Every structure is written in structure tokens, then in C-alpha cells.
Amino acid sequence: MTKIAIIDYGLGNLRSVLRGIERAGATAVITQDEEEIASADGIILPGVGAFREGMEKLAPVRESIIRSAETVPLLGICLGMQMLMEESEEHGMHEGLALIPGRVRRFHPEPGMKVPHMGWNTIHQMLPDDPLLDGVPEGSYLYFVHSYYVDTAVSNRLCETEYIVRYASAVKRDQIYGVQFHPEKSGTTGLQILENFINLT
Amino acid sequence: MALTRRIIPCLDLKNGRVVKGTHFEDLRDAGDPVELAARYNEQGADEVVFLDITASKEARKTIIDLISRAADQLFLPLTVGGGIRTNDDITAILRAGADKVSINTAAVQNPAIISEGAAAFGTQCIVLAMDVRRNFQEAEGTNPIRLPDGSTCWYEVVTHGGSRPTGIDAIRWAKEGEERGAGEILLTSMETDGTKEGFDIPITEAIASATSIPVIASGGVGTLGHFYDGFVYGKADACLAASVFHFGEYTIKDVKEYLAAKGVPVRL
């Protein structure tokens, strides 16, 4: 059976990610153990919280994650997606994992547009044939909660979403994926995306 | 397409069961929380809120077990409130599978819990729950609000399930909550709660306009039109309801189809 390592760095609701993976038909471990990460068929980097704290807490397994990402699929969720980038401007400039080129920027609120961007919004598929989006219709609703967004070249964009700006709500480079929304909180559409991720392993 | 307005069923819990009362009293049994949560998940609820109204501290521990059982069935955002006083309480609830906590009486008694919670878990995690009641006695420093019948009052924050007035102006408290780092406001009016006569529109609109964080309207839904009024006239970002869903008067889908037909953006 496929085994997914969910990286534990002390932030966020990992239980939902774990249950989502199990519901989608794989086993999962919540771990910060290098061997367990190295032996997993896929890696999920979850997360809510602040960028700098996230990167600090990730430091002990940073190299393991970068190494695994060369050989097995990796999925960053929310802050986990943002940490795949080169840098973030959240509370000063901070370095990320630099697995995908790009920068994390803050939404500038506009009248009637509240920050955080919180709730259900649609995704526009830039690479509709990508296996991560199998069975996910164009314009599907996913659950978002974030104050920062990923700014990256169009060639790295898997999906875009419009909120204040049109930004990358999912990214991809080789077998490295990131999603700004929470698939584990997005009902059946989200579970489909998790299942598609497992099928990549 | 745009960010949609949210429909949120609320489960009031007492000793592990869902209960429903009028004006926070006369509680009736409304079912098993895990079963209900799973049903709302199926119906397309946008989020689910659990409010633990169990009185004793001991009995409250059952909530943790309940959250984890419900969270296993629920691939939706889950907010849990009731009796939360410290960051340790928040940690325990998030670990059990909740995504946000709502804090009510404890925030009035110790407003620092909002800032400390937001710093530790992020603003998206902290929901300021406030219960309010109309006060027609003039008081300095309060924000007057005109009611549909032409009279004027201010809204006072009340705590302990609505039983204790605090002298705090609701609009001022909402703004302070936002400044301290609350990511959302869950607003319940004692005037309308349990009445089925509709949300308290004047205070909902006033708080939604005075703050720049999402406002969840709560208390008083009886008809589909009440949801529409909450969004359009109350300017709420989300509408919360309990008994109309628990007792099967409407499904979440009924509400959303009605709203969509009237041009309110919802996730169908």
C-alpha cells in the first residue's frame, strides 16, 4: 500500500490531512523522522501559520524533503505550498525551500475585499490535462484561507484564482506540486485531488 | 466567479448531544453531533460550528473526543467554541481536528487571549464570538443604532450565555477584537436568537461595515428569505443557523439554491 509521509512541524491541523489521505486509499504517517521521510512513496507538506516559524520548525528535515522531492511526488498545502518558493515577504523577507522559483506576496486589501481571503473560491485550470486535476471540473470550488499568495511565472502555474489579483492557486514543477487551497477541507473535490496525488506515487 | 457567501450549520452541544433552545433556554435534544455533522457534510455545508454549552469543566473533556470523531467524517472547516480560556485549550481543540476556535466570555474577561491566540495560531484561527442585546438607556461612548421602527438604541455585549450585561458597546468590542487579531466575528443577537423572525439586521450591518474581517450572522433564522436578508441587508459574509437544519425544515441545498436564484454567490 502507498505510504505518504505528512511532515510534522508543529503547526496546523494535521489530523484532517491524515484522514483525507486515508479516505483516498493510502496509509499516512505524521512524522519528522528522516528515515520515514526517505522511505515514503510521497510527501505532503501541510501547514497553516506564519512563514518564518514554519521554515524554522522545518529546518531539521529541510534536506530530507529536498532530497525526497527529486524522486517522489511532493504536495505542499497552503503554507506548505508557499514554503516551496524561493522567498516570502511575510514579516520581512525570508528564504523558502526554493524548489519552485517565485515569491510569496501579501494581498493588499481593496474596498469590499477582506484579507484573509477566506472561504470557497473557484480555480481556473492552466494545465487541465495534469493528472493532479483528473476528474476535477474547471471552475470547481475549493476552500481557501490565506493572507499571502504565490507570485510565480506562468510556466509554473497549474491553477489560477481571482481574489484582488489573479494569482497562482496551484503550482507544479516536475513531480513537485503546491496548492494554496486546503484539499482536506474541500469536500469531495478536495478528496479527489488527494486521491490523484496518491495515484502519482 | 467570486468568493462565495457561506452557509454554516451550528451544533450546540451539551453533554455530548446536540441541543437547541430559545433565548439560550428551554433546551431540546436535536440529535447525535457526529451523525448531524456527517449529514451537513453531505448536503454541502460550507463549514460547521460546534458550540459546547456544557456547564461543568469535567464534562467538557468529552468535547475533545467528540471533535475527533466528527472531524474524521468532516472534510470541511470546523470551528469549535465554548469554555476556551488559554492557548493550551486552543492547542487541544486544534489537535483533535478543529480548524478554528471561537472565544466569547473568556475574551471579554481577558482580551489578551485574542492577541495571544492569534500570535500563536494565526488570525485565521481565532473567531471572536459575541452575544449582544439592545440597550435603550443612553450611555456615554456607545454607538447609537437606528432600528426599523424608528427608535434608537445601542447594542451591549452580554456574556455567560446571554445572562450578564457587560456595559461594553458591541461595535467598539468588534473593532477591538479585529485590532487584537481576531480573523472573524460570530455575531449572535439575543433579540432574535431562537425567534425564527430573522437575523438582527441593524447590528449585523453596523458591525460588518465597521470592521474589515468577515462577519457571521447568527440567531433568528426561520425562512429562506432571512438568509437573503442577512447577506444583502446585513452585509454578512456567512449566515449561521441551527434548528432550521437540525429539524429538517430546510437542507443546506434548499438554502443555497434559493440564494443562487436570487443572485447571491454560493457554492452549489
The residues near A162 (Cβ < 8 Å, ≥ 6 apart) are A121, A122, A124, B1, B2
- Shortest alpha-carbon distance between residue B140 and chain A (Å): 31
Q: Please, which residues bridge with residue A107 across strands?
A: none
Cβ burial B179-206 (10 Å sphere, 16+ → b, else e)? ebbbbbbbbbbbbbbbbbebbbbbbbbb
Q: Is the pLDDT of residue A57 over 70?
A: yes
pLDDT band at B23 (very low <50, low <70, confident <90, very high): very low
CATH number at residue B149: 3.20.20.70
- Closest-CA residue to B66 (of B89, B96, B44, B45): B96
| B46 part of the active site | no
Give pLDDT, residue B21. 54
Q: What are the strands, taking DSSP E only, across B140-247? A: 145-146, 152-159, 164-169, 184-189, 215-218, 238-241
| CB within 8 Å of chain A, chain B residues 183-212 | 183-184, 212
Cβ burial A14-30 (10 Å sphere, 16+ → b, else e)? bbbbbbbbeebebebbb
- Shortest alpha-carbon distance between residue B210 and chain A (Å): 12
CB count, 10 Å around CB of B32?
16
Tell me: the pLDDT tens digits for A78-123?
999 999 999 999 888 999 999 999 999 999 888 878 888 999 999 9
pLDDT band at B71 (very low <50, low <70, confident <90, very high): confident
Q: How many residues does chain B have?
A: 268
| A182 part of the active site | yes
CA dist., res. B30 & res. B243, Å (int): 8
Mapped onto helix, strand or coil, the DSSP state of residue B230 is helix
Tell me: the pLDDT tens digits for A12-39?
678 889 999 999 899 999 999 999 999 9
Give how far the C-alpha of residue A180 lies from the chain's centroid of Cα atoms, to the nearest Å: 6
| CB within 8 Å of chain B, chain A residues 94-123 | 109, 114-122
Give pLDDT, residue B25. 52
User: Which residues from chain A sit within 8 angstroms of residue B214, using beta carbons?
Assistant: 114, 118-119
Mean pLDDT over each residue of chain B, to the nearest integer:
91
Query: B268 lies in a domain?
Result: no
**Whole-number Cα distances in Å, B113 to A91, A111, B101, B152, B203:** 22, 29, 12, 33, 25
Q: What is the DSSP letter of B111?
A: T
Mapped onto helix, strand or coil, the DSSP state of residue B238 is strand
- Identify the residue whose cell numbers are 443572485: B263
Query: B266 lies in a domain?
Result: no
Mean pLDDT of B175-203: 95
Query: B1 lies in a domain?
Result: no
Give pLDDT, residue A178. 98
- Shortest alpha-carbon distance between residue A90 and chain B (Å): 13
- A13 contacts B122? CB cut-off 8 A: no
| B131 part of the active site | yes
CA dist., res. B232 & res. B263, Å (int): 10
Mean pLDDT of B226-252: 95
- A163 contacts B44? CB cut-off 8 A: no
CA dist., res. B123 & res. B99, Å (int): 11
User: Which residues from chain B sit within 8 angstroms of residue A23, using beta carbons?
Assistant: 75
Domain that holds residue B96: 6-261
CB count, 10 Å around CB of B100?
27
pLDDT cut 90: percent of chain A above it? 82
Cβ burial B118-136 (10 Å sphere, 16+ → b, else e)? bebbbbbbbbbbbbbbbbe
Q: Which of B259, B264, B267 has the highest number of chain A CBs within 10 A, making it the mutation to test binding with A?
A: B267
Q: Which of B52, B89, B131, B237 is catalytic?
A: B131
- Identify the residue whose cell numbers are 450578564: B164
By Cβ distance, the residue of A115, A120, A191 closest to B267 is: A120
- Cβ pair B48, B8 in contact under 8 A: yes
Cβ burial A138-170 (10 Å sphere, 16+ → b, else e)? eebbbbbbbbbbbebeeebbbbbbebeeebbbb
User: Which residues from chain A sit within 8 angstroms of residue B267, using beta carbons?
Assistant: 120, 141
Tell me: the pLDDT tens digits for B194-218?
899 999 999 999 999 999 999 999 9
Residue A48, chain B, CB below 8 Å: the answer is yes
Give pLDDT, residue A186. 95
Chain B: residue whose CA lies nearest to A117: B3
Q: Is the pLDDT of residue B60 over 70?
A: no
The shares of helix, strand and coil residues in chain A, as percent rounded to the nearest 5, are 30, 35, 35
The residues near A2 (Cβ < 8 Å, ≥ 6 apart) are A25, A26, A27, A41, A42, A198, A201
- B71 contacts A19? CB cut-off 8 A: yes
Q: Is the pLDDT of residue B26 over 70?
A: no
Give pLDDT, residue A7. 95
Q: Which of A94, A117, A146, A182 is catalytic?
A: A182
Give pLDDT, residue A11. 66
Counting the structural domains of chain A, the total is 1
Counting the structural domains of chain B, the total is 1
Residue A199, chain B, CB below 8 Å: the answer is no
CATH number at residue A75: 3.40.50.880
Give how far the C-alpha of residue B81 lies from the chain's centroid of Cα atoms, to the nearest Å: 9
Domain that holds residue A80: 3-200
Query: B267 lies in a domain?
Result: no
By Cβ distance, the residue of B46, B97, B238 closest to A15 is: B97
Total beta-carbon pairs less than 8 A apart between chain A and chain B: 88
CA dist., res. B221 & res. B230, Å (int): 9
Cell of B217: 450572522
pLDDT cut 70: percent of chain B above it? 93
Give pLDDT, residue A154. 96
Question: Which of A37 and A49 is assigned the larger pLDDT?
Answer: A37
The residues near A150 (Cβ < 8 Å, ≥ 6 apart) are A81, A82, A85, A102, A103, A104, A105, A167, A168, A171, A178, A180
| CB within 8 Å of chain B, chain A residues 124-163 | 139, 141, 143, 145-147, 162-163
